[in-house]
Amino acid sequence: MLSCDERHKVEEANPMVGPCDPYADFGDLYDSMTSDSSIQAYYREWRHFLLEALRRYKVKCRVFIDIACGTGNTTIPWTKRRGWTIFGVDRSPAMLRQARKKSKRVRWYRQDLGRLNLKVGADVVTCHFDALNHILVHRDLQQVFLNVARMLNEGGLFQFDMNTEYWFRWLRTHEKIFRLGPNFMMAWNTYNPERRLATFHQLWFVRKTRLYEKREIRVRERAYTSAEIRGMINKAGLGLLKIDIQRKIEGKPARLLYLVGKPRKG
């Protein structure tokens, strides 16, 4: 059996190979990391921006789909909305196990973003926490936009955020150590500018009675330009409505929030 590192190399050469789950050892730790106040601020902002967009574009939401939903932090708050049917989709069994424990009001599905095939029309689709940066091959990301376009009803909205190349370049010079509850986590990052690939490394020490269990986690992301994203949006038959700079570092955009719509016919 291939290791995750070996499988990553195979996936790049042959995107049809089934993906490894980089979160297999991370699902039970993820929420301890995302409890940080700076990350919680992102969640609140994404909800605020989407509610504002629903009002502005007069979209009545009945079906809401959150893709790459992880443990459900970007999904579950929407269950408070009356008349909404909520779907959460992720490819990671480890993350979905945690999500299912947290809410039975969401319809959870395990699917890869490149093979999205929910038999339902959505009024709103979201994809957050730079999940689209995790798709390392241009044609595979294009397929995600095509899949979303197929799921969206006419007039529907697609909101997603992405990290910028500047953010990846900045991160590679910053190492951190965190204490998260009873656990400790060290984080460092590398970036290959020729391939525009960032690698995020985390070394966790998870408290187990008097001892600590060491876990090593590695995930990769690719930097895409706004021009590339615009091209994929247009090719999917969608329309770019708005780009917001959600975060800046040293005066440069670090995270962008995109709002996309599916045009109505006629």
From residue 40, alpha-carbon distances to 32, 122, 259 in Å are 11, 26, 20
- Positions of the chain with pLDDT lower than 70, given as ranges: 1-19
The answer to whether domain 4-163+223-261 has CATH 3.20.20.10 is no
Output the pLDDT for position 24: 86
Question: Which of 174, 187, 253 has the alpha carbon at shortest distance from 215?
Answer: 187
Output the pLDDT for position 9: 45
Mean pLDDT (the chain) is 91
- Per residue in 176-220, pLDDT (tens digit) is 898 888 999 999 999 999 999 999 999 999 999 889 999 999 999
Q: What ranges do the domains of the chain cover? A: 4-163+223-261, 168-220
pTM of the predicted model, to two decimals? 0.90
Output the pLDDT for position 12: 41
The CATH topology of domain 168-220 is N-terminal domain of TfIIb (2.20.25)
